[in-house]
Structure 1
Amino acid sequence: MDVLTDQLAQARARGAVFSVLRRVRPWGVRFSGRRPLTAHVLIEGTGWLEEPGREPLRLRERDVVLMSSGAPYALVSDPDVTAEPIADARLCGTDTRQGDAALILCGAYVLDGSFAASLLRALPRAVVVPATDQESAHAAAVALLADLIKQDAPGQQVLLDRLLDVNLIFALRSWWAQAGEAAPGWYRALSQPGLRRVLEHVHAEPAGEWTVPAMADLAGMSRAAFSLRFREVTGDSPGSYVTGVRMQRAEDALARSDVTLAQIAAKVGYRNEYAFSTAFRRRHGVSPGKWRAAARTAQPDYVPH
Protein backbone atom coordinates (compact mmCIF):
# COMPACT_ATOMS: atom_id res chain seq x y z
CA MET A 1 0.00 0.00 0.00
CA ASP A 2 1.23 3.49 -0.85
CA VAL A 3 1.90 5.05 2.54
CA LEU A 4 1.40 8.71 1.58
CA THR A 5 -1.92 7.84 -0.08
CA ASP A 6 -3.00 5.95 3.03
CA GLN A 7 -1.97 8.75 5.38
CA LEU A 8 -3.88 11.40 3.44
CA ALA A 9 -6.86 9.07 3.12
CA GLN A 10 -6.92 8.57 6.90
CA ALA A 11 -6.71 12.34 7.36
CA ARG A 12 -9.65 12.70 4.96
CA ALA A 13 -7.69 15.49 3.33
CA ARG A 14 -9.96 17.35 0.95
CA GLY A 15 -9.92 20.82 -0.46
CA ALA A 16 -12.28 23.41 -1.87
CA VAL A 17 -11.53 26.44 -4.01
CA PHE A 18 -13.33 29.38 -2.41
CA SER A 19 -12.22 32.31 -4.56
CA VAL A 20 -10.56 33.19 -7.84
CA LEU A 21 -9.90 36.92 -7.84
CA ARG A 22 -8.39 39.19 -10.44
CA ARG A 23 -6.74 42.25 -8.94
CA VAL A 24 -5.10 45.26 -10.63
CA ARG A 25 -1.93 46.72 -9.08
CA PRO A 26 -1.75 48.01 -6.43
CA TRP A 27 -3.67 45.23 -4.71
CA GLY A 28 -3.62 43.35 -1.42
CA VAL A 29 -5.70 40.61 0.21
CA ARG A 30 -5.48 39.84 3.93
CA PHE A 31 -6.23 36.48 5.61
CA SER A 32 -6.87 35.84 9.31
CA GLY A 33 -4.61 32.77 9.37
CA ARG A 34 -7.00 30.86 11.60
CA ARG A 35 -7.71 27.94 9.29
CA PRO A 36 -5.57 24.80 9.59
CA LEU A 37 -4.31 24.78 5.99
CA THR A 38 -4.96 27.24 3.16
CA ALA A 39 -3.70 27.12 -0.43
CA HIS A 40 -2.91 29.97 -2.79
CA VAL A 41 -1.85 29.75 -6.43
CA LEU A 42 -0.75 32.84 -8.29
CA ILE A 43 -2.30 31.87 -11.61
CA GLU A 44 -1.18 35.05 -13.36
CA GLY A 45 1.07 37.95 -12.42
CA THR A 46 3.46 38.41 -9.51
CA GLY A 47 3.18 39.42 -5.88
CA TRP A 48 4.51 39.05 -2.35
CA LEU A 49 3.64 37.04 0.74
CA GLU A 50 3.73 39.17 3.89
CA GLU A 51 3.84 37.71 7.41
CA PRO A 52 4.36 39.61 10.68
CA GLY A 53 7.99 39.65 11.75
CA ARG A 54 9.34 38.24 8.48
CA GLU A 55 10.73 39.69 5.32
CA PRO A 56 8.23 39.72 2.42
CA LEU A 57 8.60 36.71 0.15
CA ARG A 58 8.52 37.20 -3.62
CA LEU A 59 5.92 35.18 -5.51
CA ARG A 60 5.95 34.59 -9.23
CA GLU A 61 3.42 33.29 -11.70
CA ARG A 62 2.22 29.72 -11.03
CA ASP A 63 3.93 29.58 -7.62
CA VAL A 64 2.03 27.50 -5.04
CA VAL A 65 1.72 28.51 -1.38
CA LEU A 66 0.42 26.43 1.54
CA MET A 67 -0.23 28.36 4.75
CA SER A 68 -0.86 26.63 8.07
CA SER A 69 -2.60 28.39 10.95
CA GLY A 70 -0.97 31.32 12.71
CA ALA A 71 -0.95 35.10 12.66
CA PRO A 72 -2.78 37.05 9.93
CA TYR A 73 -0.91 37.32 6.64
CA ALA A 74 -1.41 38.98 3.26
CA LEU A 75 -0.82 38.50 -0.44
CA VAL A 76 0.06 41.84 -2.00
CA SER A 77 1.23 43.27 -5.30
CA ASP A 78 4.06 45.16 -3.58
CA PRO A 79 5.40 45.28 -0.01
CA ASP A 80 3.46 47.55 2.37
CA VAL A 81 0.42 47.88 0.10
CA THR A 82 -2.82 48.15 2.08
CA ALA A 83 -4.63 44.79 2.01
CA GLU A 84 -8.40 44.27 2.18
CA PRO A 85 -9.83 41.33 4.17
CA ILE A 86 -10.55 38.29 2.01
CA ALA A 87 -14.24 38.42 3.00
CA ASP A 88 -14.50 41.96 1.59
CA ALA A 89 -12.52 41.00 -1.51
CA ARG A 90 -14.90 38.13 -2.22
CA LEU A 91 -17.91 40.43 -1.86
CA CYS A 92 -16.37 42.91 -4.30
CA GLY A 93 -15.61 40.15 -6.77
CA THR A 94 -13.06 40.24 -9.53
CA ASP A 95 -11.55 43.48 -10.83
CA THR A 96 -12.17 43.87 -14.58
CA ARG A 97 -10.25 47.11 -15.07
CA GLN A 98 -7.34 47.31 -17.47
CA GLY A 99 -3.87 47.33 -15.99
CA ASP A 100 -1.09 45.28 -14.49
CA ALA A 101 -3.14 42.46 -12.99
CA ALA A 102 -2.78 39.27 -11.02
CA LEU A 103 -5.15 36.30 -10.84
CA ILE A 104 -5.16 34.65 -7.43
CA LEU A 105 -6.75 31.29 -6.63
CA CYS A 106 -7.44 30.58 -2.96
CA GLY A 107 -8.65 27.37 -1.38
CA ALA A 108 -8.76 25.59 1.95
CA TYR A 109 -8.22 22.05 3.13
CA VAL A 110 -10.10 20.16 5.79
CA LEU A 111 -8.08 17.46 7.55
CA ASP A 112 -9.24 15.21 10.38
CA GLY A 113 -7.67 12.84 12.86
CA SER A 114 -4.32 12.36 14.55
CA PHE A 115 -2.34 12.14 11.32
CA ALA A 116 -3.77 15.50 10.24
CA ALA A 117 -2.55 17.06 13.48
CA SER A 118 0.93 15.56 13.14
CA LEU A 119 1.12 16.58 9.48
CA LEU A 120 0.30 20.19 10.29
CA ARG A 121 2.81 20.24 13.14
CA ALA A 122 5.50 19.01 10.74
CA LEU A 123 4.91 21.84 8.26
CA PRO A 124 6.47 25.29 8.49
CA ARG A 125 4.08 28.23 8.54
CA ALA A 126 4.53 28.77 4.80
CA VAL A 127 5.35 26.11 2.23
CA VAL A 128 6.18 27.68 -1.11
CA VAL A 129 6.67 25.52 -4.19
CA PRO A 130 7.99 27.81 -6.95
CA ALA A 131 6.83 27.10 -10.48
CA THR A 132 10.47 26.53 -11.43
CA ASP A 133 10.75 23.70 -8.87
CA GLN A 134 7.49 21.90 -9.64
CA GLU A 135 7.71 18.43 -11.12
CA SER A 136 6.22 18.24 -14.60
CA ALA A 137 2.95 16.64 -13.48
CA HIS A 138 2.47 19.29 -10.78
CA ALA A 139 3.06 22.06 -13.29
CA ALA A 140 0.53 20.39 -15.60
CA ALA A 141 -2.05 20.28 -12.81
CA VAL A 142 -1.53 23.98 -12.08
CA ALA A 143 -1.86 24.71 -15.81
CA LEU A 144 -5.13 22.77 -15.88
CA LEU A 145 -6.36 24.80 -12.89
CA ALA A 146 -5.48 27.97 -14.79
CA ASP A 147 -7.42 26.76 -17.81
CA LEU A 148 -10.50 25.57 -15.91
CA ILE A 149 -11.06 28.77 -13.94
CA LYS A 150 -11.66 30.56 -17.24
CA GLN A 151 -14.50 28.19 -18.10
CA ASP A 152 -18.10 28.05 -16.95
CA ALA A 153 -19.26 24.48 -17.44
CA PRO A 154 -21.18 21.86 -15.43
CA GLY A 155 -19.10 20.29 -12.68
CA GLN A 156 -16.72 23.25 -12.57
CA GLN A 157 -16.46 23.50 -8.78
CA VAL A 158 -15.90 19.77 -8.34
CA LEU A 159 -13.10 19.77 -10.90
CA LEU A 160 -11.40 22.73 -9.22
CA ASP A 161 -11.71 21.14 -5.79
CA ARG A 162 -10.24 17.82 -6.93
CA LEU A 163 -7.35 19.60 -8.62
CA LEU A 164 -6.76 21.42 -5.34
CA ASP A 165 -6.47 17.97 -3.71
CA VAL A 166 -3.92 16.98 -6.35
CA ASN A 167 -2.03 20.18 -5.65
CA LEU A 168 -1.75 19.27 -1.96
CA ILE A 169 -0.14 15.92 -2.72
CA PHE A 170 2.36 17.42 -5.15
CA ALA A 171 3.19 20.30 -2.80
CA LEU A 172 3.78 17.99 0.15
CA ARG A 173 5.93 15.65 -1.91
CA SER A 174 7.96 18.54 -3.21
CA TRP A 175 8.44 20.08 0.22
CA TRP A 176 9.29 16.85 2.02
CA ALA A 177 11.69 15.76 -0.71
CA GLN A 178 13.88 18.79 -0.03
CA ALA A 179 13.15 19.25 3.68
CA GLY A 180 15.71 16.66 4.83
CA GLU A 181 15.45 16.01 8.59
CA ALA A 182 12.46 18.37 8.78
CA ALA A 183 10.35 15.88 6.80
CA PRO A 184 8.19 13.43 8.81
CA GLY A 185 10.07 10.32 9.89
CA TRP A 186 7.71 7.95 8.09
CA TYR A 187 8.30 9.88 4.85
CA ARG A 188 12.07 9.68 5.25
CA ALA A 189 11.71 5.94 5.80
CA LEU A 190 10.13 5.54 2.36
CA SER A 191 13.53 6.21 0.76
CA GLN A 192 14.95 3.04 2.37
CA PRO A 193 13.67 -0.17 0.71
CA GLY A 194 13.60 -2.34 3.84
CA LEU A 195 11.81 0.19 6.00
CA ARG A 196 9.48 1.13 3.17
CA ARG A 197 8.46 -2.51 2.76
CA VAL A 198 7.59 -2.72 6.46
CA LEU A 199 5.56 0.51 6.42
CA GLU A 200 3.64 -0.53 3.32
CA HIS A 201 2.67 -3.85 4.89
CA VAL A 202 1.74 -2.32 8.25
CA HIS A 203 -0.50 0.25 6.57
CA ALA A 204 -2.07 -2.41 4.36
CA GLU A 205 -2.80 -4.74 7.30
CA PRO A 206 -2.60 -2.93 10.64
CA ALA A 207 -4.30 -5.83 12.47
CA GLY A 208 -1.45 -8.17 11.57
CA GLU A 209 0.90 -9.75 14.12
CA TRP A 210 3.51 -7.03 13.88
CA THR A 211 6.20 -8.18 16.27
CA VAL A 212 9.72 -6.80 15.97
CA PRO A 213 11.01 -10.16 14.64
CA ALA A 214 8.29 -10.21 11.97
CA MET A 215 9.05 -6.65 10.86
CA ALA A 216 12.81 -7.20 10.95
CA ASP A 217 12.42 -10.28 8.77
CA LEU A 218 10.32 -8.31 6.31
CA ALA A 219 12.97 -5.58 6.20
CA GLY A 220 15.74 -8.14 5.69
CA MET A 221 17.59 -7.02 8.83
CA SER A 222 18.49 -8.39 12.24
CA ARG A 223 16.15 -7.48 15.08
CA ALA A 224 18.64 -5.17 16.75
CA ALA A 225 19.68 -3.45 13.52
CA PHE A 226 16.05 -3.03 12.44
CA SER A 227 14.89 -1.56 15.77
CA LEU A 228 17.80 0.87 15.86
CA ARG A 229 17.43 1.96 12.24
CA PHE A 230 13.66 2.30 12.48
CA ARG A 231 13.93 4.59 15.48
CA GLU A 232 16.77 6.61 13.93
CA VAL A 233 14.81 7.30 10.76
CA THR A 234 11.21 7.59 11.98
CA GLY A 235 11.84 8.90 15.49
CA ASP A 236 9.56 6.17 16.81
CA SER A 237 9.89 2.58 17.96
CA PRO A 238 8.40 -0.10 15.67
CA GLY A 239 5.76 -0.98 18.26
CA SER A 240 4.73 2.61 18.84
CA TYR A 241 4.47 3.20 15.10
CA VAL A 242 2.18 0.20 14.68
CA THR A 243 0.03 1.47 17.54
CA GLY A 244 -0.21 4.84 15.85
CA VAL A 245 -1.45 3.30 12.60
CA ARG A 246 -3.99 1.23 14.49
CA MET A 247 -5.22 4.29 16.35
CA GLN A 248 -5.68 6.16 13.06
CA ARG A 249 -7.94 3.34 11.84
CA ALA A 250 -9.79 3.28 15.14
CA GLU A 251 -10.37 7.04 15.06
CA ASP A 252 -11.82 6.77 11.57
CA ALA A 253 -14.17 3.97 12.58
CA LEU A 254 -15.27 5.77 15.74
CA ALA A 255 -15.97 9.05 13.97
CA ARG A 256 -17.63 7.70 10.84
CA SER A 257 -19.43 4.49 11.73
CA ASP A 258 -21.62 2.94 14.39
CA VAL A 259 -19.67 -0.31 14.70
CA THR A 260 -19.12 -1.55 18.24
CA LEU A 261 -15.88 -1.20 20.16
CA ALA A 262 -15.44 -4.97 19.99
CA GLN A 263 -15.68 -4.86 16.20
CA ILE A 264 -13.20 -1.98 16.01
CA ALA A 265 -10.83 -3.83 18.34
CA ALA A 266 -10.82 -6.86 16.06
CA LYS A 267 -10.40 -4.73 12.95
CA VAL A 268 -7.34 -2.87 14.21
CA GLY A 269 -5.53 -5.76 15.89
CA TYR A 270 -6.59 -5.99 19.56
CA ARG A 271 -7.71 -9.25 21.12
CA ASN A 272 -10.76 -7.72 22.81
CA GLU A 273 -12.62 -4.51 23.59
CA TYR A 274 -10.85 -4.05 26.92
CA ALA A 275 -7.36 -4.23 25.41
CA PHE A 276 -8.39 -1.77 22.71
CA SER A 277 -9.98 0.66 25.17
CA THR A 278 -6.90 0.57 27.38
CA ALA A 279 -4.58 1.29 24.44
CA PHE A 280 -6.87 4.05 23.15
CA ARG A 281 -7.11 5.74 26.55
CA ARG A 282 -3.34 5.57 26.95
CA ARG A 283 -2.91 7.26 23.57
CA HIS A 284 -5.68 9.87 23.79
CA GLY A 285 -6.36 10.35 27.49
CA VAL A 286 -10.07 9.60 27.06
CA SER A 287 -12.16 6.50 26.43
CA PRO A 288 -13.13 5.55 22.86
CA GLY A 289 -16.77 6.34 23.66
CA LYS A 290 -16.02 9.87 24.83
CA TRP A 291 -13.71 10.42 21.88
CA ARG A 292 -16.46 9.28 19.49
CA ALA A 293 -18.99 11.68 21.01
CA ALA A 294 -16.57 14.61 20.80
CA ALA A 295 -15.53 13.82 17.23
CA ARG A 296 -19.11 13.82 16.03
CA THR A 297 -19.79 17.31 17.35
CA ALA A 298 -17.02 18.80 15.19
CA GLN A 299 -18.35 20.42 12.04
CA PRO A 300 -15.38 21.61 9.91
CA ASP A 301 -16.03 24.03 7.08
CA TYR A 302 -14.00 25.13 4.10
CA VAL A 303 -14.26 28.86 3.82
CA PRO A 304 -11.33 30.69 5.42
CA HIS A 305 -11.52 34.25 6.76
Structure 2
Amino acid sequence: MDNIANIVRRISLKAEVFFSGKLCGIQSFSNDEKGHLHLLKSGCLTIVMKDGTKRVIDKPSVIFIPGPVEHRILAEQSAGAEMVCATISMESAHQKLLLEAFPPLITLALDTEQYIGQTAQWLFDEAFSRSVTRGVMIDKLSEIFLLQVLRYILENDLAKGGVLAALSHPMMAKVISTMHNQPEVNWTVDSLADIAAMSRSRFAATFKSVVGLTPNDYLTDIRIALAQEMLQDNKPVNLVANLVGYEHGSALARLFRKKLGISPKQWLKQSASGHNEPLKTAHQLATDKNE
Protein backbone atom coordinates (compact mmCIF):
# COMPACT_ATOMS: atom_id res chain seq x y z
CA MET A 1 0.00 0.00 0.00
CA ASP A 2 3.01 2.33 0.36
CA ASN A 3 3.33 2.42 -3.43
CA ILE A 4 -0.30 3.49 -3.75
CA ALA A 5 0.16 6.09 -1.03
CA ASN A 6 3.01 7.67 -2.98
CA ILE A 7 0.74 8.14 -6.00
CA VAL A 8 -2.21 9.38 -3.95
CA ARG A 9 0.01 11.95 -2.19
CA ARG A 10 0.56 13.63 -5.56
CA ILE A 11 -3.17 14.15 -6.07
CA SER A 12 -4.61 17.56 -5.31
CA LEU A 13 -8.19 16.80 -4.32
CA LYS A 14 -10.81 19.48 -4.48
CA ALA A 15 -14.46 19.10 -3.55
CA GLU A 16 -17.02 21.87 -3.87
CA VAL A 17 -20.45 21.30 -2.37
CA PHE A 18 -23.15 22.83 -4.55
CA PHE A 19 -26.28 21.36 -2.96
CA SER A 20 -27.41 20.25 0.48
CA GLY A 21 -31.03 19.64 1.30
CA LYS A 22 -34.02 17.66 0.07
CA LEU A 23 -33.95 16.63 -3.57
CA CYS A 24 -37.33 15.96 -5.19
CA GLY A 25 -38.16 14.78 -8.68
CA ILE A 26 -35.47 14.48 -11.36
CA GLN A 27 -32.12 16.23 -11.29
CA SER A 28 -29.66 16.01 -14.19
CA PHE A 29 -25.91 16.41 -13.84
CA SER A 30 -24.03 17.31 -17.01
CA ASN A 31 -20.54 16.54 -18.22
CA ASP A 32 -18.68 19.56 -16.79
CA GLU A 33 -15.18 18.04 -16.78
CA LYS A 34 -15.54 17.13 -13.11
CA GLY A 35 -16.58 14.08 -11.15
CA HIS A 36 -19.36 14.00 -8.58
CA LEU A 37 -19.76 12.87 -5.00
CA HIS A 38 -23.32 12.45 -3.73
CA LEU A 39 -24.14 11.53 -0.13
CA LEU A 40 -27.61 10.24 0.63
CA LYS A 41 -28.61 11.00 4.22
CA SER A 42 -32.18 9.68 4.09
CA GLY A 43 -34.83 8.66 1.60
CA CYS A 44 -34.66 6.62 -1.57
CA LEU A 45 -33.34 7.47 -5.01
CA THR A 46 -32.46 5.96 -8.35
CA ILE A 47 -29.30 6.96 -10.15
CA VAL A 48 -29.31 6.63 -13.94
CA MET A 49 -26.03 6.78 -15.86
CA LYS A 50 -25.66 7.95 -19.44
CA ASP A 51 -25.26 4.36 -20.67
CA GLY A 52 -28.60 3.38 -19.11
CA THR A 53 -27.20 1.76 -15.98
CA LYS A 54 -29.66 2.15 -13.09
CA ARG A 55 -29.07 1.67 -9.39
CA VAL A 56 -31.65 2.01 -6.63
CA ILE A 57 -30.29 3.27 -3.30
CA ASP A 58 -32.57 3.11 -0.27
CA LYS A 59 -30.25 3.63 2.70
CA PRO A 60 -27.59 6.20 3.65
CA SER A 61 -24.87 5.82 1.05
CA VAL A 62 -22.12 7.50 -0.91
CA ILE A 63 -22.38 7.69 -4.68
CA PHE A 64 -18.97 8.26 -6.25
CA ILE A 65 -18.68 9.13 -9.95
CA PRO A 66 -14.93 9.71 -10.44
CA GLY A 67 -15.00 11.11 -13.96
CA PRO A 68 -17.04 13.65 -15.93
CA VAL A 69 -20.02 11.43 -16.72
CA GLU A 70 -23.57 12.63 -17.35
CA HIS A 71 -26.11 11.13 -14.96
CA ARG A 72 -29.52 11.71 -13.40
CA ILE A 73 -30.88 11.26 -9.89
CA LEU A 74 -34.55 10.43 -9.47
CA ALA A 75 -36.22 10.91 -6.08
CA GLU A 76 -39.87 10.65 -5.12
CA GLN A 77 -41.61 13.98 -5.59
CA SER A 78 -43.43 13.74 -2.26
CA ALA A 79 -40.88 12.19 0.11
CA GLY A 80 -37.70 13.39 -1.58
CA ALA A 81 -34.17 12.46 -0.58
CA GLU A 82 -31.93 14.38 1.82
CA MET A 83 -28.55 14.76 0.13
CA VAL A 84 -25.26 16.53 -0.06
CA CYS A 85 -23.85 16.90 -3.59
CA ALA A 86 -20.35 18.01 -4.56
CA THR A 87 -18.26 18.30 -7.68
CA ILE A 88 -14.81 16.77 -7.38
CA SER A 89 -11.56 17.21 -9.22
CA MET A 90 -8.42 15.16 -8.87
CA GLU A 91 -5.60 17.34 -10.12
CA SER A 92 -2.51 15.23 -10.59
CA ALA A 93 0.23 14.53 -13.05
CA HIS A 94 -1.37 11.10 -13.23
CA GLN A 95 -5.02 12.23 -13.33
CA LYS A 96 -6.00 10.47 -16.53
CA LEU A 97 -4.19 7.29 -15.51
CA LEU A 98 -6.04 7.33 -12.20
CA LEU A 99 -9.48 7.99 -13.67
CA GLU A 100 -9.11 5.13 -16.11
CA ALA A 101 -8.60 2.79 -13.14
CA PHE A 102 -11.98 3.48 -11.54
CA PRO A 103 -15.38 2.07 -12.45
CA PRO A 104 -17.67 4.86 -13.74
CA LEU A 105 -20.03 4.44 -10.76
CA ILE A 106 -19.25 3.33 -7.22
CA THR A 107 -21.88 3.13 -4.49
CA LEU A 108 -21.10 2.36 -0.88
CA ALA A 109 -23.41 2.14 2.13
CA LEU A 110 -22.25 4.46 4.89
CA ASP A 111 -22.34 1.65 7.45
CA THR A 112 -19.84 -0.40 5.41
CA GLU A 113 -16.87 1.17 7.20
CA GLN A 114 -17.02 2.95 10.55
CA TYR A 115 -14.62 5.74 9.57
CA ILE A 116 -16.65 6.52 6.43
CA GLY A 117 -19.89 6.66 8.39
CA GLN A 118 -18.39 8.91 11.07
CA THR A 119 -17.06 11.44 8.58
CA ALA A 120 -20.32 11.36 6.64
CA GLN A 121 -22.27 12.17 9.80
CA TRP A 122 -19.94 15.07 10.56
CA LEU A 123 -20.39 16.31 7.01
CA PHE A 124 -24.18 16.03 7.26
CA ASP A 125 -24.15 17.94 10.56
CA GLU A 126 -22.23 20.80 8.97
CA ALA A 127 -24.16 20.77 5.70
CA PHE A 128 -27.51 21.14 7.42
CA SER A 129 -26.34 23.65 10.03
CA ARG A 130 -26.30 27.45 9.94
CA SER A 131 -22.70 27.83 11.07
CA VAL A 132 -20.80 30.86 9.76
CA THR A 133 -17.99 28.52 8.64
CA ARG A 134 -20.40 26.03 7.08
CA GLY A 135 -19.24 26.46 3.47
CA VAL A 136 -15.53 26.05 4.18
CA MET A 137 -16.10 23.16 6.58
CA ILE A 138 -18.22 21.07 4.23
CA ASP A 139 -15.78 21.55 1.34
CA LYS A 140 -12.84 20.43 3.51
CA LEU A 141 -14.81 17.56 5.02
CA SER A 142 -15.83 16.47 1.53
CA GLU A 143 -12.16 16.27 0.57
CA ILE A 144 -11.38 14.16 3.65
CA PHE A 145 -14.40 11.99 2.92
CA LEU A 146 -13.28 11.54 -0.68
CA LEU A 147 -9.84 10.40 0.50
CA GLN A 148 -11.50 7.85 2.77
CA VAL A 149 -13.61 6.56 -0.12
CA LEU A 150 -10.49 6.28 -2.28
CA ARG A 151 -8.76 4.35 0.50
CA TYR A 152 -11.70 1.96 0.74
CA ILE A 153 -11.68 1.42 -3.03
CA LEU A 154 -7.97 0.66 -3.03
CA GLU A 155 -7.97 -1.57 0.05
CA ASN A 156 -10.86 -3.62 -1.33
CA ASP A 157 -9.51 -3.96 -4.89
CA LEU A 158 -12.42 -2.13 -6.49
CA ALA A 159 -10.15 -0.42 -9.04
CA LYS A 160 -10.76 -2.16 -12.35
CA GLY A 161 -7.32 -1.72 -13.88
CA GLY A 162 -4.63 0.79 -14.72
CA VAL A 163 -2.12 2.23 -12.29
CA LEU A 164 -4.13 1.45 -9.14
CA ALA A 165 -4.66 -2.19 -10.04
CA ALA A 166 -0.99 -2.48 -11.00
CA LEU A 167 0.10 -1.05 -7.65
CA SER A 168 -1.94 -3.76 -5.95
CA HIS A 169 -0.44 -6.48 -8.13
CA PRO A 170 2.24 -8.60 -6.39
CA MET A 171 4.68 -8.46 -9.33
CA MET A 172 3.77 -5.17 -11.02
CA ALA A 173 3.75 -2.93 -7.93
CA LYS A 174 7.53 -2.58 -7.69
CA VAL A 175 7.83 -1.93 -11.42
CA ILE A 176 5.17 0.78 -11.46
CA SER A 177 6.58 2.45 -8.36
CA THR A 178 10.08 2.43 -9.87
CA MET A 179 8.85 3.95 -13.13
CA HIS A 180 7.06 6.73 -11.27
CA ASN A 181 10.02 7.42 -8.98
CA GLN A 182 12.63 7.36 -11.77
CA PRO A 183 10.90 8.43 -15.00
CA GLU A 184 14.17 9.84 -16.38
CA VAL A 185 15.77 6.38 -16.63
CA ASN A 186 15.89 4.78 -20.07
CA TRP A 187 13.74 1.84 -19.06
CA THR A 188 13.46 -1.10 -21.44
CA VAL A 189 11.21 -4.12 -21.31
CA ASP A 190 14.24 -6.19 -20.31
CA SER A 191 15.27 -3.94 -17.42
CA LEU A 192 11.70 -3.71 -16.13
CA ALA A 193 11.29 -7.47 -16.43
CA ASP A 194 14.39 -7.88 -14.25
CA ILE A 195 12.78 -5.72 -11.55
CA ALA A 196 9.67 -7.90 -11.68
CA ALA A 197 11.82 -11.07 -11.67
CA MET A 198 9.95 -12.32 -14.73
CA SER A 199 10.87 -13.37 -18.23
CA ARG A 200 10.68 -10.64 -20.87
CA SER A 201 7.69 -12.14 -22.66
CA ARG A 202 5.75 -12.93 -19.50
CA PHE A 203 6.40 -9.47 -18.09
CA ALA A 204 5.28 -7.68 -21.27
CA ALA A 205 2.07 -9.72 -21.43
CA THR A 206 1.31 -9.30 -17.72
CA PHE A 207 1.97 -5.55 -17.79
CA LYS A 208 -0.33 -5.02 -20.77
CA SER A 209 -3.03 -7.19 -19.18
CA VAL A 210 -2.94 -5.40 -15.82
CA VAL A 211 -2.26 -1.80 -16.85
CA GLY A 212 -3.90 -1.79 -20.27
CA LEU A 213 -0.83 -0.24 -21.94
CA THR A 214 2.60 -1.37 -23.05
CA PRO A 215 5.46 -0.46 -20.69
CA ASN A 216 6.76 2.12 -23.18
CA ASP A 217 3.35 3.77 -23.64
CA TYR A 218 2.87 3.92 -19.89
CA LEU A 219 6.32 5.45 -19.34
CA THR A 220 5.57 8.03 -22.02
CA ASP A 221 2.33 8.98 -20.28
CA ILE A 222 4.18 9.42 -16.99
CA ARG A 223 6.85 11.59 -18.57
CA ILE A 224 4.41 13.86 -20.39
CA ALA A 225 2.26 14.29 -17.28
CA LEU A 226 5.27 15.11 -15.09
CA ALA A 227 6.60 17.48 -17.74
CA GLN A 228 3.29 19.34 -17.69
CA GLU A 229 3.49 19.62 -13.92
CA MET A 230 7.02 21.03 -14.03
CA LEU A 231 6.24 23.44 -16.87
CA GLN A 232 3.46 24.87 -14.72
CA ASP A 233 6.11 25.42 -12.02
CA ASN A 234 7.97 27.62 -14.56
CA LYS A 235 10.89 25.25 -15.08
CA PRO A 236 12.72 25.75 -18.45
CA VAL A 237 11.82 23.32 -21.23
CA ASN A 238 15.37 21.96 -21.56
CA LEU A 239 15.59 21.28 -17.82
CA VAL A 240 12.19 19.61 -17.81
CA ALA A 241 13.25 17.44 -20.74
CA ASN A 242 16.34 16.27 -18.83
CA LEU A 243 14.35 15.58 -15.68
CA VAL A 244 11.90 13.30 -17.50
CA GLY A 245 14.49 11.40 -19.54
CA TYR A 246 15.15 13.35 -22.73
CA GLU A 247 18.52 14.81 -23.72
CA HIS A 248 17.15 17.93 -25.39
CA GLY A 249 14.06 20.09 -25.22
CA SER A 250 13.46 19.36 -28.90
CA ALA A 251 12.81 15.69 -28.08
CA LEU A 252 10.22 16.67 -25.49
CA ALA A 253 8.68 19.11 -27.97
CA ARG A 254 8.30 16.32 -30.54
CA LEU A 255 6.60 14.16 -27.94
CA PHE A 256 4.21 16.97 -26.98
CA ARG A 257 3.27 17.52 -30.62
CA LYS A 258 2.69 13.81 -31.07
CA LYS A 259 0.56 13.47 -27.94
CA LEU A 260 -1.11 16.87 -27.71
CA GLY A 261 -0.67 18.45 -31.13
CA ILE A 262 1.16 21.49 -29.70
CA SER A 263 4.59 22.41 -28.33
CA PRO A 264 5.38 22.60 -24.59
CA LYS A 265 5.36 26.42 -24.72
CA GLN A 266 2.01 26.46 -26.52
CA TRP A 267 0.62 23.99 -23.99
CA LEU A 268 1.84 26.16 -21.10
CA LYS A 269 0.26 29.25 -22.65
CA GLN A 270 -3.06 27.45 -23.05
CA SER A 271 -2.79 26.10 -19.52
CA ALA A 272 -2.32 29.60 -18.13
CA SER A 273 -5.36 30.83 -20.05
CA GLY A 274 -7.49 27.93 -18.82
CA HIS A 275 -8.18 26.58 -22.30
CA ASN A 276 -5.96 23.56 -22.24
CA GLU A 277 -6.84 20.16 -23.58
CA PRO A 278 -6.26 17.42 -20.99
CA LEU A 279 -3.50 14.92 -21.54
CA LYS A 280 -4.62 11.90 -23.50
CA THR A 281 -3.09 8.58 -22.58
CA ALA A 282 -1.86 6.18 -25.21
CA HIS A 283 -5.00 4.12 -24.64
CA GLN A 284 -7.22 7.12 -25.35
CA LEU A 285 -5.28 8.03 -28.49
CA ALA A 286 -5.70 4.50 -29.81
CA THR A 287 -9.42 4.65 -29.07
CA ASP A 288 -9.73 7.98 -30.91
CA LYS A 289 -8.08 6.52 -34.00
CA ASN A 290 -10.56 3.65 -34.09
CA GLU A 291 -13.63 5.88 -33.85
Q: Does the 8 Å CA contact 1:11/1:111 hold for their aligned counterparts?
A: yes
Look up the match of 1:267.
243
Moved more, 211-220 or 258-267: 211-220
Q: Does the 8 Å CA contact 1:10/1:249 hold for their aligned counterparts?
A: no
Structure 1 segment 82-101 matched on structure 2, within 5 A:
none
Moved more, 7-16 or 159-168: 7-16
Cα RMSD, aligned residues only: 3.3
Structure 1 segment 126-165 matched on structure 2, within 5 A:
126-132=105-111, 134-153=112-131, 155-165=133-143
Structure 1 segment 41-80 matched on structure 2, within 5 A:
41-50=39-48, 54=52, 57-67=55-65, 68-71=67-70, 73-76=72-75, 78=76
Q: Does the 8 Å CA contact 2:61/2:110 hold for their aligned counterparts?
A: yes
Look up the match of 1:243.
220
Q: Does the 8 Å CA contact 1:198/1:218 hold for their aligned counterparts?
A: yes
- 1:269 CA drift (Å): 1.9
Structure 1 segment 186-265 matched on structure 2, within 5 A:
186-254=163-231, 256-265=232-241
Q: Give unpaired runs (5+ residues) of structure 2.
A: 277-291
Amino acid at match of 2:60: R
| Structure 1 pair 166–4 and aligned structure 2 pair: CA distance change class (3 A) | farther
Equivalent-residue separation in structure 2 for 1:125 and 1:201 (angstroms): 28
| Structure 1 pair 191–259 and aligned structure 2 pair: CA distance change class (3 A) | closer
Amino acid at match of 2:109: P
TM-score (norm 1): 0.74
- 1:110 CA drift (Å): 2.7
Q: Does the 8 Å CA contact 2:162/2:212 hold for their aligned counterparts?
A: yes
Deviations 1:243-289 (A, max 9, x none): 111111112223x2222101211222212211211222222222112
Look up the match of 1:86.
none
Q: Does the 8 Å CA contact 1:195/1:230 hold for their aligned counterparts?
A: yes
Look up the match of 1:34.
31
> How many residues are matched?
273
Look up the match of 2:270.
294
Equivalent-residue separation in structure 1 for 2:122 and 2:230 (angstroms): 35
Deviations 1:39-63 (A, max 9, x none): 1101233333355784753223321
Three-state SS of the structure 2 residue aligned to 1:274 is helix
Sequence identity percentage? 23
Look up the match of 1:18.
18
Equivalent-residue separation in structure 2 for 1:199 and 1:236 (angstroms): 12
Q: Does the 8 Å CA contact 2:41/2:83 hold for their aligned counterparts?
A: yes
- 1:147 CA drift (Å): 3.2
- 1:188 CA drift (Å): 1.9
Q: Which has more radius of gyration?
A: 1
Equivalent-residue separation in structure 1 for 2:31 and 2:243 (angstroms): 36
Amino acid at match of 2:59: E
Equivalent-residue separation in structure 2 for 1:72 and 1:188 (angstroms): 26
| Structure 1 pair 34–236 and aligned structure 2 pair: CA distance change class (3 A) | closer
